[in-house]
Structure 1
Amino acid sequence: MAKTILVTGGARGIGLAVTRRLAAAGHRVAVSYRADGEAARSVRAELRARGAEIEIFQSDLADPKDARALPGRVGERFGGLDVLVNNAGMTDDASFLMMERARYREVLGTNLFGTMLLTGAALPLLLKADAPAIVIVASLGGVVGKEGQVAYATSKGALIGFTQWLARKYSSAGIAVNAVAPGFIRTGMTADLEPKMVDHVVGGTALRRVGRAEEVAEAVHFLLAPGYMQATTLRIDGGFNR
């Protein structure tokens, strides 16, 4: 059965792969973007040409007003909301002892607090749906930490805790809540990394390769109807163990 799904940050990287996968499955997709309107309009045109029902929404999750308003905008356009995919995020890498407080606040404001505010605003709509679900895109960095990414890893680790709390709080209301934790995935965000860093990360995986955004999207699609899975974080990391 077709669902109405909001994918935050759904016009680029992993979010774009998720958008394409869900549209291909016949779902109605609402895509939020912060600044890259050209990319958002491009994916809308691409998927509408394939017969998908999709709309785009400009929203900055670091702005509390924007974060709270977005679910209502989606609900008004599509008549409700069945699934929320919290994917939007940012990174800002620096040494722990050298990173300015303002940079920490920006990362946490977008990745953690924006996601929490958005989710809270989406809950009244989700509680009206027949089989609602929330999928949070965390990160392997939030599980094992990552050199030079203390703010990012902290925000993603907190989202894993948020996932577990949501799942326990709203299980009785019928909302499925799970997360995915991608490892090193080939996206625009990772394309500029030095080969030595790529080799270091890939060398710590069992599969000895970089992941694909489509592989994360497949996991997100699976979690729309997770059955007995609840409060779980799926690691999509090629068997990373370092």
Structure 2
Amino acid sequence: MTKTVLITGGTRGIGRAVAHRLARDGYRLAIAYRGDAHAAQQTAAELDSIGAQHRLYQADLADPQQAAALPARIVADFGTLDGLVNNAGMTDDGAFLTMEGERYQRVLDTNLFGTMRLTSAALPYLLQADRPAIVIVSSLGGVVGKEGQVTYATTKGALIGLTQWLGRKYGPQGLRVNAVAPGFIRTDMMDSLEPSMYQHIIEGSALQRIGDAEEVADAVAFLLSPGYIQATTLRVDGGFQR
């Protein structure tokens, strides 16, 4: 039976690469996005061109009702939910001590609380599936911290804790839960950055280069497939040292 996987933030960057990779692996894709309809339609056209089975779902995971309702929408359309890739996220960079509360609250609502609400709503369906899996996209920032991105790093670190708890709690029921922690990855977000802003990250990695979204997608696909890895965070960071 073909498995259905929900990918949040699935129309840009890492999420888009994950969608393409899982399509090649034969999954049916439920692709959620927040508001960029152009990117969503572009991704849909790309997936159509390779014959992928997919549907798009607009949902703002910072909205509790939209996050909670999304899994049921997917099961109504596909009949099952076998995997979840929690990739949706945002950042709002700035000095933490001078940042207004509403700015970091939005990051918390999307990256952490949105992921928690969605996962909670998806669990009853996942636990009915054959060899279900969750992969949570954290970040190197959640492992080592990141100056100027304190709120973002905090949410990503919290997701690592969530991964560990979910894996221990639901592993006995057959649900595998793991995370990936990408380092500095080449996406469209890089276009606005000067090389001087990330050169120190490249120099701090063993491979001395920027990673590609496809390399993160490979790790996600690996963790979705049946295996003995559980409640673990896989760093995809080129051997970054700090």
TM-score scaled by length of structure 2: 0.98
Give, in angstroms, the shift of residue 182 of structure 1: 0.1
Query: What does 1:140-151 align with in structure 2 at a 5 Å threshold?
Result: 140-151=140-151
The answer as to 2:7 corresponding to 1:7 is: yes
The runs of 4+ residues in structure 1 deviating greater than 3 Å are none
Query: d(CA) in 1 for partners of 2:10 and 2:48?
Result: 15
Distance 1:20 1:28 in 2: 11
Name the SS for the 1:177 alignment partner: strand
| Structure 2 residue aligned with 1:84 | 84
Question: How much does 1:191 deviate?
Answer: 2.5
Spell out, residue by residue over 1:66-90, the C-alpha distance to the aligned partner (whole angstroms, 9 max, x if none): 0000111111110010000000000
Query: Is the CA contact 2:131–2:226 (under 8 Å) kept in the aligned structure 1?
Result: no
Whether 1:94 aligns to 2:94 is: yes
Task: Select the structure that is richer in helix.
Answer: 2
Contact 2:181 2:236 in 1 (8 A): yes
Q: Which residue of 2 aligns with 1:20?
A: 20
Structure 1 Cα separation of the partners of residues 32 and 190 of structure 2: 21
Distance 2:25 2:226 in 1: 16
Displacement of 1:216 after TM fit? 0.1
Local SS of the residue matching 2:170: helix
Match of 1:112 in 2: 112
Query: Deviation per CA, 1:72-122, whole angstroms, max 9, x where unpaired?
Result: 111111001000000000000001111111111000000000000000000
AA aligned to 2:99 is M
Partner of 2:53: 53
Q: Find the counterpart in structure 2 of residue 169 from structure 1.
A: 169
Once superposed, what is the RMSD of the aligned Cα atoms?
Answer: 0.8
Query: Following the alignment from structure 1 to structure 2, what is the Cα–Cα distance between the partners of residues 34 and 187?
Result: 18
**Counterpart for residue 235 of structure 2:** 235
Tell me the alpha carbon deviations over residues 146-180 of structure 1, each in whole angstroms, 9 at most, x when there is no partner: 11000000000000000000000100110000000
The amino acid across from 2:64 in the alignment is: P
Instruction: Please state whether the residue corresponding to 1:240 is helix, strand or coil.
Output: coil
Secondary structure of the residue aligned to 1:97 is helix
Q: Identify unmatched segments of 5+ residues in structure 1.
A: none
| Secondary structure class of the residue paired with 1:32 | strand
Question: Partner of 1:84: helix, strand, or coil?
Answer: strand
